Amino acid sequence: MNTLSTSTLAALEEMLQNTARSAPPDFLPIMLIGGSAGTQTIGHLNPEFIAFLQESLEKDPIPFISIGNDQISITLTRPQELSNSLYQLAQTMRLAGFIPGWRHEDFAWLDHHGHQYFRLERAAFRTFGFQSMATHINGYTKSNSIWLGRRSESKSTDPGKLDNIAAGGITADETPWVNARRELWEEAGVPEQIAANIEPIGRIHMRRPIVGRGFHDELLYVYDLELTDQFVPSNHDGEVSGFIETSLPEAAARILADEFTGDAAFVTADFILRRTK
């Protein structure tokens, strides 16, 4: 059986130590003002977008949102009112070409207690650096291979890259558990009676700047799912172009060759390290 070299394991471990990066110093912090937490940083704006946003807000002010030289300020108000204002801001940015891949699907911004403060189009979360949530499922077999999906070339984010057997953003009205089972069926054709066996593993906090886009800040809820050697995944929603079944050493090599999405690389590396200990 193929084994993983010490140098490969060390490379994966080093990679996992750098999942959550700080925002670059020239990114403008977005501050939420008010509430029990006082003032807190909830996002970061790419410096390429600052001049446009300053000009736009000066010309057409938006309630509860202001921009200065050192920060964007969002004043806390009722969730629906705040959501309306942020949607207005996002539409302005979209029309200017700063938010590609509009999905007509809402994410929610939650505080550390799980309270929802606002909802916003999911494509806008990276533009403003707001923290979102997603699930990633490692689909593995009894013979210790792992299934990987290849993202459709039509995807606005990471087209053609390798991904976990199923993964997806958690929408505003979903829990991680519900989302994981939905994504398993839509992306990989895993029936409910099998998907119900997902094993919750933990969370990975992913933070990194995206060139020309913004700042990606996401909590990845990780699950493992053991599949029989006879199971073959099949995509139902058009978001996956195909699947490959690989050994753990091959998956590690593909990670280090930068064939994965950033999120799936971390999740798969974590799985490999857990399975080889």
Residues 160 and 93 in one domain: no
Residues 256 and 141 in one domain: yes
Q: How far apart are CA 277 and CA 267, in angstroms?
A: 16
Residues 75 and 117 in one domain: yes
Residues 10 and 53 in one domain: no
Q: What is the pLDDT of residues 206-224, one digit of tens each?
A: 999 988 889 999 999 999 9
Residues 111 and 50 in one domain: yes
What pLDDT is stored for residue 2 in this prediction?
A: 60
Residue 103: give its domain's CATH number. Answer: 3.30.750.160
Is the pLDDT assigned to residue 174 strictly greater than 90?
yes
What pLDDT is stored for residue 97 in this prediction?
A: 92
Residues 165 and 253 in one domain: yes
Indicate the angle between helix axes 6-16 and 262-276, nearest 10 degrees: 130
Quick count: other Cβ atoms within 10 Å of Cβ 81?
14
Q: Is 23 inside any structural domain?
A: no
For 144, the token pair is 């210790």
The answer to whether the CB of 248 falls within 8 A of the CB of 5 is no
**Entry pTM:** 0.93
Residue 169: give its domain's CATH number. Answer: 3.90.79.10
For 226, the token pair is 């053991």
Residues 114 and 158 in one domain: no
Residues 155 and 40 in one domain: no
Query: Would you list the DSSP string of 238-252?
Result: SSEEEEEEEEHHHHH
The answer to whether the CB of 47 falls within 8 A of the CB of 215 is no
Owner of token pair 């003032």? 39
Residues in CB range of 116: below 8 A, 6 or more apart: 79, 108, 109, 110, 172
For 227, the token pair is 């599949």
Overall average pLDDT of the 243-268 stretch: 97
What pLDDT is stored for residue 222 in this prediction?
A: 98
Residues 144 and 208 in one domain: yes
Which of 100, 125, 150 terminates a domain? The answer is 125
Q: Is 220 inside any structural domain?
A: yes
Q: How much is the mean pLDDT over the chain?
A: 95
Q: What is the pLDDT of residues 28-84, one digit of tens each?
A: 999 999 877 689 999 999 999 999 999 999 999 999 999 999 999 999 999 999 999
The secondary structure element, H or E, covering residue 206 is strand 199-210
Phi, psi values for residue 191, rounded to 5°: -65, 160
Residues 108 and 233 in one domain: no
Owner of token pair 């069926």? 185
Q: What is the pLDDT of residues 77-110, one digit of tens each?
A: 999 999 999 999 999 999 999 998 899 999 999 9
Residues 96 and 151 in one domain: no
Residues 59 and 38 in one domain: yes
Q: Is 1 inside any structural domain?
A: no
Which of 99, 125, 151 terminates a domain? The answer is 125
The answer to whether the CB of 148 falls within 8 A of the CB of 251 is yes
User: Across-strand partners of 31?
Assistant: 41, 73
What pLDDT is stored for residue 196 in this prediction?
A: 97
Q: Is 105 inside any structural domain?
A: yes
Is the pLDDT assigned to residue 1 strictly greater than 60?
no
Q: Which residues span the domain enclosing 248?
A: 6-18+132-276
